[in-house]
Amino acid sequence: MTLTVYNTLTRRLEPFETIEPMKVKMYCCGVTVYDYCHLGHGRTYIVWDTIRRYLTWCGYQVRYIQNFTDIDDKILNRAREQGSTMEAVSQKFIDAYFEDIRRLNVIDADEYPRATQHIPEIHQLIQALVAKDYAYANGGDVYYRVQRFPGYGKLSGQELKQMQAGASGRVDAEDPSGKKKQHPFDFALWKSAKPGEPAWDSPWGPGRPGWHIECSAMIRSRLGETIDIHTGGGDLIFPHHENEIAQSEGAIDKPLSRYWMHNGMVRVNGEKMSKSLGNFITIREMLDKGVDPMAVRFFVLQGHYRKPLDFTDEAIANASNSWQTLKEGLLFGLEYGEKLGWGTGNRALGIGNGELGIGNNPSQLPTPHSSSPTPHSLLPNPLERFKEGADDDFNFSNGLAVLFELAKSLQREKNILVHEGISKTPSAELHTQWETLVTLAAVLGLEAKQEEQQIPSDNELSDSQIESLIQERQEARQSKNFAESDRIRNELQSKGINLIDTKEGVRWHRN
């Protein structure tokens, strides 16, 4: 199946064809660094990280750029509130971004350009727009002349008269009287300096860049005039991405991006996440409460990236349970590989020291067409089903179903090994099954770590306690005390222990 992606610009699925064969230039709009990242940010960067991983796995050479907006009214307001500076606030939350997002196993971008590092490039782009009559200066400000660009509105699918200023929560406040703009929808490319605010010299006087021009300049500087994929949250379609198109294409008469891709928004208990509603949740708040970061990734990938995602306690609990099943399958080789005679083959997948995964380097992923990462090949049927789903506009939920099947199978084999000491499935077949699971899980960024043996909690039974209760149940059955036998079974079931009576004896496993 050919990879197809949904292009917001054309509003249809299209075959994926890059500008240069097997090379992808990809830009993602990053955070404005004035606060900690919330669940919506978490979803956005997990989604694009996973798509980047998948493209790399398919053999593409991906150059992935994600910016930081480090000059903005929100940053300046936060600095004033805290008696700090723009630079200090920006750096604090850039550091926090990396702390939070790396816990979710998001691979670092190739570069993280900052708006303040690209002032000369911003000046050049604005000058080109002024020269072509797409922009005009007035009183130290420079505005983009929206009516001059005939394609304005093509990304959002709106006509100019239908649009509303201030979409995506960004409202230009530099012209409250409406005397500087020639049209209400014209937007600022350069803002004249205000007392006490950071400013840079420019051909129009001291000031700072507008929000939209920053990304246009950074893309052109780091990736060139036309890129393959431009991504971001759905709230950025208008005005931010609409304005990026107008700026960049007005200046160079070339498409800014071949594909525009946007992820759906996160809702909390069916409502838009908002501080005023008291349902605003940051990534670190959730993870510090004990939610496994991999359960969060699992939760995000269960739904298609373009659809809204509703966060509830029940949904994250279900994702946590599913992740435990998947984790048990991923750790199967570390726990039983030696017993099954797999030798040192585990290290061929980058596995060691009790960890599974590729770390922060997506190029370590084996491709579906490459030679096997170990002497064993991957299972063709799960591989094909995984790829078929992902090639359909990155539908990773199908891939999770494939992983779950593999993990459940290995979980059953684990129970057999625990209680019977030997599996009837050939060792090489188990090895291939496990390698397939580990490889495909790594494509989705789902990676497991072998934890140190912990003392069971008060409500959790150790293996020896379970075996002792099973022996008591057997004695009760032999003496025909079936009430006691049932009581012990029910007690075990209440603690997540399922019993299976066989001719060879009693087998058990944890849920």
Q: Three-state secondary structure along 140-169?
A: CEEEECHHHCCCCCCCCCCCHHHCCCCHHH
- Domain match, 174 and 116 both: yes
- Above 80 in pLDDT, residue 275? no
In a shared domain, residues 437 and 471:
no
Provide the pLDDT confidence category of residue 485 given band limits of 50, 70 and 90.
confident
Residue 348 has what pLDDT? 35
Residue 455, burial from CB neighbour count under 10 angstroms (0-12, 13-18, 19+): exposed
Q: Does any domain span residue 290? A: no
Whether 60 and 125 map to the same domain: the answer is yes
Q: What is the mean pLDDT of residues 471-477?
A: 86
Instruction: Using the structure block, give the residue that is written with the tokens 């998001």.
Output: 106
In the numeric block, the tokens 């394609």 are attached to: 151
Whether residue 468 sits in one domain with residue 435: no
Residues 433 and 344 in one domain: yes
* pLDDT at position 361: 63
Please tell me the pTM assigned to this model: 0.84
CA distance linking residue 433 with residue 173, whole number of Å: 59
Separation of alpha carbons 489 and 469, rounded Å:
9
pLDDT of residue 163: 66
Domain assignment of residue 299, yes or no: no
Q: Assign 3-class secondary structure to 50-84.
A: HHHHHHHHCCCEEEEEECEECCCHHHHHHHHHHCC
The confidence score (pLDDT) of residue 347 equals 37
Q: Who has greater pLDDT, 174 or 252?
A: 252
Shared domain for 46 and 16, answered yes or no, is yes
**pLDDT > 90 in the chain, percent:** 69
State yes or no: pLDDT of 111 exceeds 80: yes
Using the 3D structure, point to which of 228, 263, 298 is the last residue of a domain.
Answer: 263
Give the residue from 99, 190, 98 showing the smallest Cα distance to 137: 190
How many domains does the chain divide into? Answer: 3
Whether 430 and 396 share a structural domain: yes
More confident residue, 96 or 355: 96
Nearest 10 degrees: Cα torsion 464, 469, 475, 477: -140
DSSP letter string, 312-355? -HHHHHHHHHHHHHHHHHHTHHHHHTTTTT-TTGGGGGT-BTTB
SS3 178: coil
Question: What is the separation of C-alpha 87 from the centre of its chain, rounded to a whole number of angstroms?
Answer: 27
Helix (H, G, I), strand (E, B) or coil at 493: helix
Q: What one-letter code names the amino acid at 342? A: W
Reported as a single tens digit per residue, the pLDDT across 324-371 is: 999 999 999 999 998 899 974 443 343 333 445 555 666 555 555 443
Indicate whether 92 and 233 sit together in one domain: yes
33 within some domain: yes
Same domain, 359 and 432: yes
Q: Which range of residues forms the domain containing residue 474?
A: 463-510
pLDDT of residue 262 exceeding 50: yes
pLDDT band at 477 (very low <50, low <70, confident <90, very high): confident
Answer with the residue of higher pLDDT: 470 or 203.
Answer: 203
One domain, residues 437 and 475: no
* Mean pLDDT to the nearest integer, 314-329: 94
User: Residue 146 corresponds to which tokens in the numbers above?
Assistant: 């929206």
Residue 250 located in a structural domain: yes
Asked if residue 118 is part of any domain, the answer here is yes
- pLDDT band at residue 421 under the 50/70/90 scheme: confident
Query: Which one has a higher pLDDT value, 283 or 509?
Result: 283
CATH code at position 48: 3.40.50.620
- The answer to whether residue 323 sits within a structural domain is yes
Asked whether residue 286 is domain-assigned, the answer is: no
Which residues lie below 8 Å from residue 211, measured CB to CB, with a gap of 6+? 69, 72, 170, 240
Give residue 180's pLDDT. Answer: 84
Q: Is residue 199 situated within a structural domain?
A: yes
Give the residue with greater pLDDT, 211 vs 169: 211
Q: Helices 396-420 & 427-443, crossing angle to 10 degrees?
A: 150
Which of 205, 229, 263 finishes a domain?
Answer: 263
Kindly report the average pLDDT of the chain as a whole number.
88
Specify the 3-state DSSP secondary structure of 392.
strand
**Confidence band (pLDDT; 50, 70, 90) for 504?**
low
The tokens describing 106, both together, are 């998001």
- pLDDT exceeds cutoff 70 at 209: yes
Residue 55 has pLDDT above 90, yes or no: yes
User: What pLDDT is recorded for position 483?
Assistant: 84
Q: Which of 391, 414, 443 is the last residue of a domain?
A: 443
Residues 114 and 220 in one domain: yes
Nearest Cα residue to 98 out of 26, 43, 33, 27: 33
Whether 231 and 123 map to the same domain: the answer is yes
